[in-house]
A and B are shown apart, each in its own frame.
Chain A
Amino acid sequence: MLITLQNLFKTYSMGDNAVHALDGVSLTIAAGDFVAVMGASGSGKSTLLNILGCLDTPTAGAYLLDCVEVSRMSRTQLAHVRNQKLGFVFQNFNLLSRTSAIENVELPTFYNRRFSGKQRRQHASEMLERVGLGNRADHTPSQLSGGQQQRVAIARALMNNPPVILADEPTGNLDTRSSVEIMALFKQLNQDGITILMVTHEEDIAACAKRRILMRDGQIVPTLQPADKAKP
């Protein structure tokens, strides 16, 4: 299994009350899966994604990523895990403004020693080709459409060849046409063998995933899978 969560808890203390953002979540995701996480706001799906993305640590429980226990790691160790194993795609793209597309794509390799300067530029331009923006390398985010900006962000997520991509409402700020294009790109990447975990609240976006997880009150709700949906 690429990702294994065992009885995960995340508790915030709000004054005297303890709020359980995650209340005993167990989950396994195999390599090559494409999972949509759904749920109302406050259901704990963002907390789950933050912990899966190694941006946050659980209060209790175990999280094995690629057979490594990461839930008790230091901030520095988590940073290395994020750099090596994970790619992030955000709702609002989070590109550096006044910085060209290719330099945005190169950014994750600044924090490892994988590439020399020339290789880095070469690899970044390959990643831009892969998302279909080979001819926009020198454009800054303000010169690109929303869909194009999200593609740059995806190219950036691919830069370190991570096994997992985590997407937080990747089509939330996009029009329908761009959304369809982005989802097509995700499907393509998934076919290339990348595991994708995507938070969304749109049915038709979630429909692109191989399976879906519904969150409610910090717990995973057993739900019908797309495979079962065919039978009424």
Chain B
Amino acid sequence: MNLWMIFKVAIRAIFRNKTRSLLTALGIIVGIAAVIAVVAIGQGATTMMMKEINGIGNNLIMIFPGSRNQGGVHAGSGASQTLTAEDGEAISRDLTHLVRAVSPMVRSGAQVIYQENNWSTQIQGVSVEFPDVRSWEIANGVFFTAADQRSGTRVCVLGRTVVDNLFPNDDPVGQSIRIRNMPFRVLGVMARKGSNTMGHDQDDVVIVPYTTAKRVLQNSIFNNVNMLMVSLYSLGDIPAAKEEIGSLLRQRHKLSPNADDDFSLIDMTEITNTIGSMTRLMTILLTTVASISLLVGGIGIMNIMLVSVTERTREIGLRMAIGATPSDILMQFITEAMVLSTTGGLLGVLLGTFGAKLVGTLQQWPILVTESSVVVAFLFSAAVGMFFGFYPALRASRLNPIDCLRYE
């Protein structure tokens, strides 16, 4: 009996009991649809997160001040005041083969005022290389210059959220706003960046030269900073760069060989890895849930195939009498189970894709139906059919034709 014939007989047998076949396939349909939909939503979310992480900056390493150890007493992280803008300049100068741009970050909060509007926001003191480090463009006007940075002039560049709140109608470029009762000239407006992974609004910011932030806003004579942001040429250089930055800073901070680092280096690979392990965990959970639902669906198929074998005992007997070999019968019932399960799988893929797209449209959520998930789902449903169809088919093939022909 050739495969096409077997296939045709299977199709016919399935269509003979349409309702029953559909209900049997439903177990597989729901299982596959759930997997496809959740994977699509999960993949979309992961892709979006990855995109955001890349949006934080170009191959970024962040250097934070570490804890301070004074006479055996450890202060908390960030307590050390040894990390300075000069460290950043040194990194930029000494590691030119790896480092593309460096910007310090001096943070403080303040109320900013323009005419009758006021807004509480974060002031970020950075260097001229900041737009490059963060891969953040200026939408309107210009960024401050190296001269502004050297002399600590009172100029600023605004994030979109600040513009929306202070300048509902006016063009902010060239206007003067007041920060801590000091006038600052607005040079430009940054492009909209949106919320970051933590949900923090990155556009709610006023950017000033770090020198201005230190001397004018914090009224400080020290040059320590909250963070240094180092942008590398290549993502692959991160481990090497961390190594070199570490030894350079230890040398600059005159740390003895057995002393702890008074700084810490954080890069995006760690966050990427965290997201990667979250994704892996989700995949494991999904696979478990999918396996259970497909197991249940498979048992349904096995059940119905056993019923079908019993119902068609006489047909089996007749087919054997007119020349069907045991393997013909085995093939016929396995094929029937596989057609049932793969049809369920295909419908499940369609339903899952449709469901995911629907959720994506309604919830404004990114959806990514990958080809591999569709192929894997389909192959898996075929395997379920083969596995759970085997036992009923084997039973059918081992029946005695004489008993079958007599079966009432």
Contact = CB atoms under 8 A, between A and B. Distances in A.
A80 B405 contact: no
Question: Range of interface residues on chain A?
Answer: 20 to 34
Interface stretch (A105-113, A182-190, A212-220): A105-113
Nearest to A111: B323
Interface string A21-36: 0000000000000000
B405 A94 contact: yes
A76 B327 contact: yes
A153 to B, nearest CB: 10
Contacts of B328: 79, 111
Given A56-B402, A96-B315, A76 B325 contact: yes
B322 A108 contact: yes
B401 interface: yes
Interface string B314-345: 11011111111111100000000000000000
A76 B1 CA distance: 13
Interface in A61-107: 75-76, 79-80, 82-84, 88, 90, 94, 96, 98, 107
B5 interface: yes
Contacts of B315: 96
A160 B325 CA distance: 16
B16 A98 contact: yes
Contacts of B314: 94
Contacts of B317: 94
A94 B9 CA distance: 17
Nearest to A83: B323
A62 to B, nearest CB: 21
A156 to B, nearest CB: 7
A160 B401 CA distance: 20
A83 B318 CA distance: 11
Nearest to B317: A94
Interface string A110-145: 111100000000000000000000000000000000
B321 A107 contact: no
B267 to A, nearest CB: 67
A39 interface: no
A173 interface: no
Nearest to A159: B322
Contacts of B323: 79-80, 82-84, 108, 111-112, 160
A121 B215 CA distance: 98
Given A55-B321, A94-B314, A94-B318, A110 B402 contact: no
Contacts of A53: 321
Contacts of A55: 320-321, 401-402, 405
Contacts of A113: 2
A76 B326 contact: yes
A59 to B, nearest CB: 15
A79 B320 contact: yes
B1 A111 contact: yes
A133 B280 CA distance: 67
B5 to A, nearest CB: 5
Interface residues of B, number: 22
Interface in B1-46: 1-2, 5, 9, 16
Contacts of A160: 323
B319 A107 contact: yes
Contacts of B2: 113
Contacts of A80: 323, 325
A113 B3 CA distance: 12
A159 B281 CA distance: 61
Contacts of A88: 321-322
B13 to A, nearest CB: 10
A50 interface: yes
A50 B321 CA distance: 10
A111 B325 contact: yes
A82 B321 contact: yes
B321 to A, nearest CB: 5
A231 B317 CA distance: 44
Contacts of A108: 322-323
A66 B1 CA distance: 24
Contacts of B16: 98
Nearest to A95: B318
Contacts of B320: 55, 79, 82
A76 B401 CA distance: 12
Contact of B324 (A90, A111, A156): A111
A111 B402 contact: no
A80 B1 CA distance: 12
A67 to B, nearest CB: 20
A36 B217 CA distance: 118
Contacts of B319: 107, 111
Interface string B223-255: 000000000000000000000000000000000
B258 to A, nearest CB: 81
A75 B326 contact: yes
A110 B2 CA distance: 8
B322 A82 contact: yes
Residue of B16, B323, B326, B401 with most chain A CB atoms under a 10 A cut-off: B323
B324 A79 contact: yes
25 contacts: A55-B320, A55-B321, A55-B402, A55-B405, A75-B326, A76-B325, A79-B320, A79-B324, A82-B321, A82-B322, A82-B323, A84-B323, A88-B322, A90-B405, A94-B321, A94-B405, A96-B315, A98-B16, A107-B318, A107-B322, A108-B323, A110-B1, A111-B1, A111-B322, A111-B325
- The list of the 10 closest CB pairs from A to B, nearest first, reads A83-B323, A111-B323, A79-B325, A108-B322, A76-B325, A94-B318, A55-B401, A88-B321, A82-B323, A55-B402
Given A55-B405, A79-B324, A79-B325, 15 more contacts: A50-B402, A55-B402, A76-B325, A76-B327, A79-B323, A80-B323, A82-B321, A84-B323, A94-B405, A107-B322, A110-B1, A110-B9, A111-B324, A111-B325, A160-B323
